[in-house]
């Protein structure tokens, strides 16, 4: 009888342990989906704020976690991204993690569930952003953009006539925007209406094509069509953002590919929870639990 009781007690402990593990897995899954997740920084595009080898925590719930059918995404089927309610909007200078919206071509928005970028939010929906002499300016935003130190490097790098600043989005030689002299570019907010002309087509055709799920085209006379329908005005269905890396001289950001749709944003980077120097394989203790600003 005593031996049987010991076996039953052992089985009971084993079941309790199994249930505890299942509970922890469920809690972990819920936190990953709805609250916070982790990403590892692979490149130096956000130096000095983030270094290669930093592992960061990303807050999903402040703006609201995304819900979508991962199986449909992986199978190339149509899907919709829903966002849970949150308690704050994204702000200027937030460091955001997002699915890179132009994995195939900078002229076409696509969702790659496995491809993530991290950049700083420079301009919000409804802003107008420009770059003058390598310095970012956002109309109506008088506070300092936090990547100002690195942007000075960009300004000094392209000086005089000895170095020509590379071309930039929207890659039109007549418009002539460069990494040093860019814009002004109005960043659409949900509900904004734009008159459709050749400039609007140039700046927003990939956004409108993605929203409408059919091609936007312009004819020789400058008329704009969605499918076969002539369009004189367009009302945007989503919010968009202008993103930039702190290491401006080595960052593939909105200067190259344009604007970021809000549904592609995972969340705000908040803390570095681990940091390993990739060259020495040593932990950077001074960066542990550092706040990301």
Answer with the residue of higher pLDDT: 206 or 220: 206
Q: Are 90 and 187 in contact (CB under 8 A)?
A: no
Q: Could you give phi then psi for residue 185, rounded to 5 degrees?
A: -120, 110
pLDDT band at 161 (very low <50, low <70, confident <90, very high): very low
Which residue matches tokens 């080595």? 250
For the ranges 9-23, 38-52, 98-112, the lowest mean pLDDT is seen at 9-23
Mapped onto helix, strand or coil, the DSSP state of residue 141 is coil
139 labelled catalytic: no
CB 267 within 8 A of CB 87: no
pTM given for the model: 0.90
CB-based contact 197:224 (threshold 8 Å): yes
Tokens 């930093």 label which residue? 54
* Burial bucket for residue 201 (CB in 10 Å: 0-12, 13-18, 19+): buried
**In this structure, what token pair is assigned to residue 22?**
């299942």
Helix (H) or strand (E) holding 132: strand 128-132
Q: Look at residue 13 in the predicted model and tell me its pLDDT.
A: 79
From the candidates 60, 63, 119, 268, give the one annotated as an active-site residue: 119
Element (H, E) at 136: strand 135-138
| Domains (range + CATH), the chain | 2-192+236-291 (2.10.109.10)
- The pLDDT, as a whole number, for residue 28 is 60
Could you confirm whether 119 is annotated as catalytic? yes
Count of Cβ atoms closer than 10 Å to residue 256 Cβ: 15
Tell me the pLDDT of the chain averaged across its residues: 88
**Mean pLDDT along residues 62-68:** 91
Q: Which residues, including other chains, have CB under 8 Å from residue 214's CB and lie 6 or more apart?
A: 226, 227
Percentage of the chain lying above the pLDDT 70 cut? 90
Is the pLDDT at 164 greater than 80? The verdict is: no
Which of 3, 9, 40, 45 does the annotation list as catalytic?
A: 45
pLDDT in tens, 8-17: 777 777 777 7
């Amino acid at each position: 009888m005593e031996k049987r009781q010991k076996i039953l007690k052992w089985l009971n402990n084993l079941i309790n342990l199994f249930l505890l593990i299942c509970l922890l897995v469920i809690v972990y899954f819920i936190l990953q989906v709805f609250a916070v997740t982790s990403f590892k920084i692979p490149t130096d595009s956000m130096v000095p704020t983030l270094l290669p080898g930093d592992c960061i925590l990303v807050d999903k719930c402040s703006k609201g976690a995304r819900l979508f059918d991962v199986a449909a995404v992986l199978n190339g089927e149509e899907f919709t991204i829903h966002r849970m309610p949150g308690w704050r909007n994204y702000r200027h200078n937030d460091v955001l993690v997002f699915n890179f919206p132009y994995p195939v071509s900078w002229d076409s928005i696509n969702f790659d569930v496995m491809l993530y970028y991290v950049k700083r939010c420079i301009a919000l929906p409804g802003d107008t952003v420009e770059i003058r002499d390598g310095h970012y300016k956002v109309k109506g935003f008088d506070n300092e953009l936090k990547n100002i130190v690195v942007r000075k490097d960009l300004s000094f790098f392209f000086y005089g006539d000895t170095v020509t600043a590379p071309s930039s989005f929207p890659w039109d030689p007549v418009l002539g925007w460069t990494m040093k002299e860019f814009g002004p570019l109005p960043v659409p907010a949900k509900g904004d209406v734009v008159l459709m002309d050749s400039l609007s087509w140039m700046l927003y055709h990939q956004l409108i094509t993605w929203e409408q799920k059919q091609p936007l085209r312009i004819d020789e006379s400058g008329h704009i069509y969605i499918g076969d329908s002539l369009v004189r005005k367009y009302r945007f269905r989503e919010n968009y953002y202008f993103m930039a890396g702190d290491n401006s001289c080595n960052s593939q950001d909105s200067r190259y590919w344009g604007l970021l749709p809000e549904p592609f944003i995972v969340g705000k980077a908040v803390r570095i929870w681990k940091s390993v120097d990739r060259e020495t394989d040593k932990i950077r203790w001074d960066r542990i639990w550092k706040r990301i600003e």
